[in-house]
Structure 1
């Protein structure tokens, strides 16, 4: 004991404190350790066990088709008897042949004995060949021995899955769960709640019908098990079925005491190791060694420190792989570390990071601590980013740290079992390393060797890994659509390196300043004297980019109890509406803002880049500069968020804005949830306009506004929004979707007040409104819409997450509709690109310029009929064929229109980079050569974004796909590179207006 106390130092005290804090944290987060565990009554369902049982009678190729029942051969399955048969059927999602017919208001009750203390969901097999034609509703409840309801879940009978698992979830919306086919998914930190039961006591599952009726010629029922189970009793409307039972999985949230004991055991062992008097042990060993040379070398502390140093990269490798969801056997399988590219690359990078730290500090302890902490921070950053935005950490995120911290403050932090593994084991490892006494490392000459080795590796890494197709050649790819999938496939370290490689803005092929000048020579910038007065030719312009403003009728048939955008849909006179295709989904607002103001496209930027943070360091040509040069004043940028968000406080002046209003400038603003409301936002627009006009200026007014009311997330825990409209489409209804549409309704009400105000002003005024991106209401919503897009291409399906409304309204008569060019995009996405109102509308097909259509069809939503093939032009270009091909999609849009004014557009399809030139075109304003070029490009490539581009043939292509339009986009890339990267050689005459004094 004296030896222990004698060797207690500050480092050991800190290590012990770390362990104590870790212990307290683990106790506090004990419920986060729960994970799903399924029983077929009293028999535990373990997927691995079932798989091994199945292998005895089914070929491996059959098991690999677990999710495709049509490719399985069950001929040998019936040879198994007893409960194993039920386990395998459950595993393969293949029920038996016997089922109980369900109709009307029948009630089925099944008793079971609770095998754990928290229940999450029940999983049943239904026979429902009529699918959505089946009428009625099912309510599944769990009752205690006194008949009291503990929990329940309801689902439309028509949405039960035919001959496979249907989940009735007590903690989530069952409709959403089944629409996303996640009946057997693992529990996440967001869904770790359950309902308490008393383990070992008997409970009753009650399945109650309400008006259940199968479609004509079919039967609706619930499948039975083959095995018999003790303590289980089945009754239908009180009639006993004896020992026959339902084929039912009871899903519990299990708290693993073994894992809990393991964590506490690790902390206890670490505490004992920390308390070990290593110096005393060294002295004892020295006294027992007679060889003086060996005696001097005995230093247990140094030996342990070096051992921990050697272990560190492998421990960090485990951290990374564990955070990626890999199991222990998979992680440390030698072929995955040393004979697999991803594994070998990961361990090599970790070793070299540690070697660099060792080279700098020459201490094994410091190198181990820093490497471990850095790896842990990386893993936890991935965890939280996936939790918050469903995307991992990528290279360009480091330029948005300030904004990320602001946004994170509005999210609820929660932990999962996986994250607890990382936290507990990292703290234990750090405590062990920290408790050791630091010892000197390599001598100078050996450090020189290490320096050379690190230099060679660094040169190879930079020259080969980051500047060639080395990663691609080894099969590494991280998609911008699903970075999380790429990280899981290759490991988060390799995935992150891939994003680092892609974060560099590559010089386009064929780029030169002379090439830019050659292209620019065809488009001469206009000359202006810098003065103007308000008129229809130079109206006041207010551009509003509304946070997550979306009209779901543009992406599919989303039925609601009422129109949540009634005023927006009612706007017809002096209004142009269209679909805008942003480059982003659910976040990175500043990217759409950047495209709108500069005319540049995110297609030529790295994955998830934010130019506001990385690319704007000096004055940049913009819409604000163009309007100022031709006499517009005010030039106000307004965003009711944090002033420094996305670096706006530095960027806006560089884009030509004279004033920036942020939330810090607003006194006691009205808020909805944690964000300033759109009503308050639009009220500030009116105040700014009145303040400007109060100065007596006759110059037209310009203001650019980015709202914040509809910022994610939309969970009830982030603030309740009064529910005025509900989603009546059972497959799409969930908490976040309904929260969102009611937020959007408040935006619509605020828009009505804003339009009414400017409708009553004397000065000609234009209001441009569009969404920055669609809302992230959960993967279920968009996945369901994609499933409905039968016959659509992968690009078209992906674009259902990248469509927002675009509107231009004026308080004076205009002829803007005659300046629209429309294109016959594929109708397989279930939307109509023509204007469609609840009473009547039209859908255009083919290409139309200046109001002359090549072919049109009319949709009457009230009558539910569609006519096609009527041409308003003397010459037809095959519109009849196009209209017939899209008949199903148009009918779908017509049906939705009756309650939500579906597809409310004038056929305009646009991307954010064209907004500035398009506004100038409509008002016949002065244009830069770049504006003119973009309008010319728009005729050939009407839509271009980081996700896709559309040709004038109406077809969408992925952003990197080759086509006859690629040459136009490459030319665009060359011009944009000169404008945004090679700024020292920027051809300013092309990007800025000229004035009579030749000043730019």
Structure 2
């Protein structure tokens, strides 16, 4: 019936002229208000993309119904993907997320794909656009193949020129481009999805820092290279256990709220041979692998494109890390993650990083499950198994990336009954209560691990930290209870990247010496970013450091926090990190070292990033 009805030529042309603009408006409205967030020059710059997209499809197909139907369908799909990405991890879609499709699919069935009422209306409007567009009858009069080919090539050329222009600083200045990547949602909302996404493609390749050279790297590290550094044979090498706990955080940093029970009593009560503090990370709601990367390498995401994932984009071969460094010191090295090995390309990356053995989901087939994930306690039992089966006196390094607390928190489960209640929330904090109940389970499991090793004969040091906070929609009740409506302000943005860390040992450690490195006059608590954490761990364990770690130990007092979003100086002042901004000289040097460590493999001296071998 519909095939028999075709919209006449002139109305078809008119529909073609308005549909790209309507699709732009609909896509943006899925996530924000165009009228409130975008200025006219940026609206117009985004509209050019949509007209070029529909124009390219028209040039290829020569038919308006293909152009309008397929074009609107593509825009709707892209808009929905961006909508769900924001819902699940609180940041928008980036070009390099294409590389994360396998990881995203591996956990996709654990999320709820419901739409709010406004989103349902927008999808309905898209469907209407697709249906109406498919009824148009306008055809391009291009019967000559040469003219047809010329029209396609012209459309491709215009697309290329547009992509180039969107990345030019002159164009940015002309349209009032919002440059600050550290607030990604604001970046996309103010610049528009198309312009933001295309602008970010320039960061798929990372340029050398200014003044980069191998000679400069040697100059920076020269004061920290000690010839023939030796340690006494048989010197203490404690077992080292590092737990990067999935979504482990204390939401109390976001605002005051009360619960019926303490959700973190064991960690709060730890004091003897313990160092605790505030840890700043580069991600929230997802991209766990970036916290992992910063800890294991000592590099910072500050010098990489916002939203990028080094595990998938940049690591292509062996690289000196904490694992290879400890291996060099005589440790057996183990990595474990009780989920799929292809997530974030971990299986390959762990080999490149120097882990002797890696355990993934197939190694936990009979392990206890909470909700849909292997429990923290099950991974701790695996750690105990490694300890009891190893040769006595042989030091071990275990890096455990847990999965128990992974989102989503929207489903109900027979095997999980939340027992933490948020008082005064009027019943609107179900997701937060489920999340806090999981944190309570993690705290209890950590208590059991510490309890076991408190009785162990071999000296053992344990570090646990969170990889990121949960997504915005989990913690939003805290903001509502504290009367906070805008979470894009500097203070809220900063607090959303804070997680706890705790270092505990079953023997006497010099806690004061460790705290001196990470305490500051402006804060009553220890504070640092995750890139420094392995250096602090080596300090606590009394292990020899690499020249790179000694360099970081020297700058941590001046710049204790350096993440993808901000850096903090020794006066307690926060500054946003911008890819084009001028950094302090010390951080410029750090950027040079990071580039050499990650990218300049040909000219990298691995001895700069690892400790000397034990005699």
Q: TM-score, normalised by structure 2?
A: 0.87
- Partners of 1:677 and 1:449 lie apart in 2 by 60
Identify the residue that residue 377 of structure 2 maps to in structure 1.
679
Identify the residue that residue 752 of structure 1 maps to in structure 2.
447
Identify the residue that residue 780 of structure 1 maps to in structure 2.
476
Secondary structure of the residue aligned to 1:743 is helix
Larger relative contact order (CA 8 Å, sep ≥ 6): 2
Please state how far the C-alpha of 1:340 moved relative to its aligned partner. 3.6
- Partners of 1:340 and 1:515 lie apart in 2 by 45
Is 2:19 the partner of 1:315? yes
Is 2:360 the partner of 1:662? yes
Secondary structure of the residue aligned to 1:409 is helix
1:631-663: CA deviation from partner (whole Å, max 9, x where unpaired): 111x11111122211121221111111222112
1:263-322: CA deviation from partner (whole Å, max 9, x where unpaired): xxxxxxxxx44134x8xxxxxxxxxxxxxxxxxxxxx9xx85x97588457424312312
Identify the residue that residue 323 of structure 2 maps to in structure 1.
624
Find the partner of 2:341 among 631, 643, 653: 643
Shift in alpha-carbon separation, 1:553–1:351, aligned structure 2, 3 A: closer
Equivalent pair of 1:561/1:726 in contact (CA under 8 Å):
yes
Equivalent pair of 1:546/1:772 in contact (CA under 8 Å):
yes
Identify the residue that residue 819 of structure 1 maps to in structure 2.
514
Please state how far the C-alpha of 1:527 moved relative to its aligned partner. 5.8
Secondary structure of the residue aligned to 2:48 is helix
Secondary structure of the residue aligned to 1:521 is helix
Larger fraction in helix:
2
Find the partner of 1:352 among 17, 42, 52: 52
Shift in alpha-carbon separation, 1:730–1:559, aligned structure 2, 3 A: same
Please state how far the C-alpha of 1:719 moved relative to its aligned partner. 7.0
1:907-951: CA deviation from partner (whole Å, max 9, x where unpaired): 321211011222222233232221111111213211211222222
Find the partner of 1:496 among 197, 200, 223: 197
Is 2:597 the partner of 1:946? no
- Partners of 1:971 and 1:452 lie apart in 2 by 45
- Partners of 1:526 and 1:367 lie apart in 2 by 68
Shift in alpha-carbon separation, 1:761–1:442, aligned structure 2, 3 A: farther
1:484-535: CA deviation from partner (whole Å, max 9, x where unpaired): 44434443222323333455534322223332232233332776899976x6
Secondary structure of the residue aligned to 2:29 is coil
Identify the residue that residue 387 of structure 1 maps to in structure 2.
87
Equivalent pair of 1:568/1:748 in contact (CA under 8 Å):
yes
Find the partner of 1:324 among 21, 25, 28: 28
- Partners of 2:544 and 2:554 lie apart in 1 by 15
Equivalent pair of 1:385/1:391 in contact (CA under 8 Å):
yes
- Partners of 1:655 and 1:506 lie apart in 2 by 23
Shift in alpha-carbon separation, 1:803–1:524, aligned structure 2, 3 A: same
Is 2:309 the partner of 1:605? no
Is 2:608 the partner of 1:909? no
Secondary structure of the residue aligned to 1:940 is coil
Secondary structure of the residue aligned to 1:920 is helix
1:72-83 superposed matches below 5 A = none
Residue segments in structure 1 that go unaligned for 5+ positions in a row: 1-271, 279-299, 827-832, 835-906
Equivalent pair of 1:364/1:441 in contact (CA under 8 Å):
no
Shift in alpha-carbon separation, 1:374–1:754, aligned structure 2, 3 A: same
Identify the residue that residue 446 of structure 1 maps to in structure 2.
147
Equivalent pair of 2:233/2:614 in contact (CA under 8 Å):
no
Secondary structure of the residue aligned to 1:576 is strand
Identify the residue that residue 585 of structure 1 maps to in structure 2.
284
Identify the residue that residue 565 of structure 1 maps to in structure 2.
264
Equivalent pair of 1:376/1:422 in contact (CA under 8 Å):
no
Equivalent pair of 2:89/2:284 in contact (CA under 8 Å):
no
Secondary structure of the residue aligned to 1:910 is strand
Equivalent pair of 1:320/1:491 in contact (CA under 8 Å):
no
Equivalent pair of 1:316/1:375 in contact (CA under 8 Å):
no
Identify the residue that residue 600 of structure 2 maps to in structure 1.
982
Secondary structure of the residue aligned to 2:293 is helix
Across the aligned residues of Structure 1 and Structure 2, the Cα RMSD in angstroms comes to: 3.7
Identify the residue that residue 294 of structure 2 maps to in structure 1.
595
Shift in alpha-carbon separation, 1:945–1:718, aligned structure 2, 3 A: farther
1:880-899 superposed matches below 5 A = none
- Partners of 1:482 and 1:982 lie apart in 2 by 29
Secondary structure of the residue aligned to 2:377 is helix
Equivalent pair of 1:613/1:647 in contact (CA under 8 Å):
yes
Identify the residue that residue 184 of structure 2 maps to in structure 1.
483
Secondary structure of the residue aligned to 1:704 is strand
Equivalent pair of 1:581/1:802 in contact (CA under 8 Å):
yes
Identify the residue that residue 524 of structure 1 maps to in structure 2.
225
Secondary structure of the residue aligned to 1:324 is helix
Please state how far the C-alpha of 1:985 moved relative to its aligned partner. 3.0
Shift in alpha-carbon separation, 1:773–1:527, aligned structure 2, 3 A: farther
Please state how far the C-alpha of 1:459 moved relative to its aligned partner. 4.7
Q: TM-score, normalised by structure 1?
A: 0.55
- Partners of 1:994 and 1:310 lie apart in 2 by 73
Identify the residue that residue 93 of structure 1 maps to in structure 2.
none
- Partners of 1:968 and 1:442 lie apart in 2 by 64
Equivalent pair of 1:312/1:372 in contact (CA under 8 Å):
no
Find the partner of 2:408 among 700, 706, 713: 713
Please state how far the C-alpha of 1:820 moved relative to its aligned partner. 1.9
Identify the residue that residue 514 of structure 1 maps to in structure 2.
215
Is 2:466 the partner of 1:771? yes
Please state how far the C-alpha of 1:595 moved relative to its aligned partner. 0.4
- Partners of 2:186 and 2:581 lie apart in 1 by 27
Please state how far the C-alpha of 1:767 moved relative to its aligned partner. 0.6
- Partners of 1:509 and 1:980 lie apart in 2 by 16
Q: Which piece of structure 1 moves more, 395-404 or 738-747?
A: 395-404
Secondary structure of the residue aligned to 2:243 is strand
Identify the residue that residue 161 of structure 1 maps to in structure 2.
none
Secondary structure of the residue aligned to 1:415 is coil
Equivalent pair of 2:302/2:562 in contact (CA under 8 Å):
yes
1:333-372 superposed matches below 5 A = 340-357=40-57, 367-372=67-72
Is 2:538 the partner of 1:538? no
Please state how far the C-alpha of 1:370 moved relative to its aligned partner. 4.1
Equivalent pair of 1:579/1:909 in contact (CA under 8 Å):
yes
Shift in alpha-carbon separation, 1:689–1:326, aligned structure 2, 3 A: closer
Larger fraction in strand:
1
Equivalent pair of 2:509/2:540 in contact (CA under 8 Å):
no
Equivalent pair of 1:639/1:707 in contact (CA under 8 Å):
yes
Equivalent pair of 2:290/2:301 in contact (CA under 8 Å):
yes
Equivalent pair of 2:367/2:378 in contact (CA under 8 Å):
yes
Equivalent pair of 2:263/2:440 in contact (CA under 8 Å):
yes
Shift in alpha-carbon separation, 1:737–1:434, aligned structure 2, 3 A: closer
Identify the residue that residue 741 of structure 1 maps to in structure 2.
436
Q: Which piece of structure 1 moves more, 452-461 or 428-437?
A: 428-437
Please state how far the C-alpha of 1:802 moved relative to its aligned partner. 2.0
Find the partner of 1:922 among 540, 550, 556: 540
Please state how far the C-alpha of 1:723 moved relative to its aligned partner. 4.0
